[in-house]
Structure 1
Amino acid sequence: MESKLILLALFVIVMLLMSYTVSKKTKTILFFGDSITEFGTLPGGYLQLLNEKIVQNGLSQLTCLGAGISGNKIYDLYLRLEDDVLNKNPALVVILIGVNDVWHKVSHGTGTDANKFEKFYKAILNKLQASNIPVVLCTIISIGEKLQGQNRQDDDIDVYNGIIRNLSTTYQVPLCDLRKAAFDCIAAQNHTNADRGVLTKDGVHLNETGNRMVAENIWQTIAQIPGFL
């Protein structure tokens, strides 16, 4: 009888330890966006680089997961928010969206008007805050890598990034200003004023250097959230 009680006690202890371990491993940072996020999950992508930083810093309870779909705009994120974000109960959501809302105005004759972009973005933030899910906002990086102000859609990007920065202030959530970081790099490194090749392959999608830049800036932003890491 005594041996059975001992075995039962050991079983309970093992189950509790396993439950604790699993709970530690399920603290997820979810990246919500478009193709930049989707490609960020590939080898050498910024999500992989962030997961490497997590391991290097001994933060085994954290993991970065991507919820990016190529071609998505702000309203696509709103429509899949329930399934791809809220139902997963992440510890933090990092939103990087907007490039297609601007880019597709020229490339596809579509896009998203600025006022609609803001309304859908607010709707997403309202739902996240109602679910008590912390969020980090990222500015649109680039559509072309010529010096700032010399790319066809720079003015448009400035408008949409202005909306994102204002939402960061209004909702009191952290901002990762990837636009500023990108053009600091471009100003220093793009000596021929090329439209691609410094941080991107095509003016939009990140190359190896761009992925490292994004990973480093997002990591610094997350590290400044009190008590998160």
Structure 2
Amino acid sequence: MDYTRRNFLQAITTATIGATGATIWPSGSWKDDAAGSQKFDIIEENATILFQGDSITDAGRDKENHGANQGLGGGYAFLATAQLRHTLAARSISCYNRGISGNKVFQLADRWQEEALALKPDVLSILIGVNDFWHTLNDYDGTVEVYEQDLRALLTRTKEQLPDVTLVIGEPFVVLEGSAVSEEEWMPDFKDYQQVAKEIARDFEAGFIPYQSIFDEASKEVEPTYWTGDGVHPSLAGSQLMAEAWLQTVNKM
């Protein structure tokens, strides 16, 4: 069954946020796009693209070899970059991954000057939030209000120093059938974090990728643990699903 050409991607319709009409997720499959439609208008020649976040972005990247393929990790950032560098070969773009496993928003902020602002990205993609909730089940005393406050402060700081940067915000997601998550513990509170991420994307005129809906729809066709065994960290197939969502969103912005 070729899930990319079935109904679950068509079920996620084109939507917009904010007055600018920034794309959330366009209908159809990345693989169904004609080559001529893969324009990526927001990515100009010599553009720098930065992926930031936690372990989902980190994906085991080699932190000593930022410029090598290994420096992009083995997840969605690597897969999206591979497609971009193929499609936009003539534009000489640079792509970096600075995700760090276990990070919450305040930890992004602690390293933001060196590992984000100093790189002067033209496109900044951020996926953060799962740890901001998950760790509250153990020894972290954060709240959804702290998450919102910290993320808004981080993006305000970013726009002050990089006013022309294009922001892409990924929705934190969870697959409840995974081995590391419990519906009783995670829901409905985690949904508040997802709502905050969506509202912040709207307020900062960022592209927004609704990863939760994407994984939910994919799980209707194939068992959920195919996409992520523990419910948080995607499998290779799940990473490809995320990469395609990222590419479509950025392509339509």
TM-score, normalization: structure 2? Answer: 0.70
Structure 1: which 5+ residue stretches go unaligned? 1-22, 191-195
Whether 1:66 and 2:86 are equivalent positions in the alignment is no
Following superposition, which runs of at least 4 residues in structure 1 exceed 6 angstroms of deviation?
A: none
Name the counterpart of 1:204.
232
Structural mapping, 1:13-92, within 5 Å = 24-25=45-46, 27-39=47-59, 41=61, 44-59=74-89, 60-92=91-123
Shift of 1:151: 5.9
Change in Cα spacing, 1:30 to 1:173, as seen in structure 2 (3 Å) is same
Change in Cα spacing, 1:35 to 1:44, as seen in structure 2 (3 Å) is closer
Deviations 1:25-66 (A, max 9, x none): 4x2210111111110746642122112211331344223211
Name the counterpart of 1:129.
159
Identity percentage of aligned residues: 26
Matched-pair contact (CA < 8 Å) for 1:145–1:186: no
The letter for the 2-side match of 1:145 is E
Looking at structure 1, the residues matched to 60 and 170 of structure 2 have their Cα atoms a distance apart, in angstroms, of 14
Looking at structure 2, the residues matched to 100 and 111 of structure 1 have their Cα atoms a distance apart, in angstroms, of 12
Shift of 1:182: 1.0
Matched-pair contact (CA < 8 Å) for 2:175–2:228: no
Looking at structure 2, the residues matched to 127 and 143 of structure 1 have their Cα atoms a distance apart, in angstroms, of 32
Matched-pair contact (CA < 8 Å) for 2:173–2:194: no
Q: Across the two proteins, how many residue pairs are aligned to each other?
A: 194
| Structure whose residues are more often helix by fraction | 1
Shift of 1:143: 5.3
Matched-pair contact (CA < 8 Å) for 1:102–1:111: no
Change in Cα spacing, 1:105 to 1:206, as seen in structure 2 (3 Å) is same
Structural mapping, 1:185-224, within 5 Å = 185-190=218-223, 197-224=225-252
Q: 3-state DSSP class of the match of 1:31?
A: strand
Shift of 1:188: 2.6
Change in Cα spacing, 1:75 to 1:46, as seen in structure 2 (3 Å) is same
Deviations 1:163-186 (A, max 9, x none): 011111122211111111111112
Looking at structure 2, the residues matched to 177 and 40 of structure 1 have their Cα atoms a distance apart, in angstroms, of 24
Shift of 1:135: 0.8
Shift of 1:84: 0.7
Matched-pair contact (CA < 8 Å) for 1:145–1:151: no
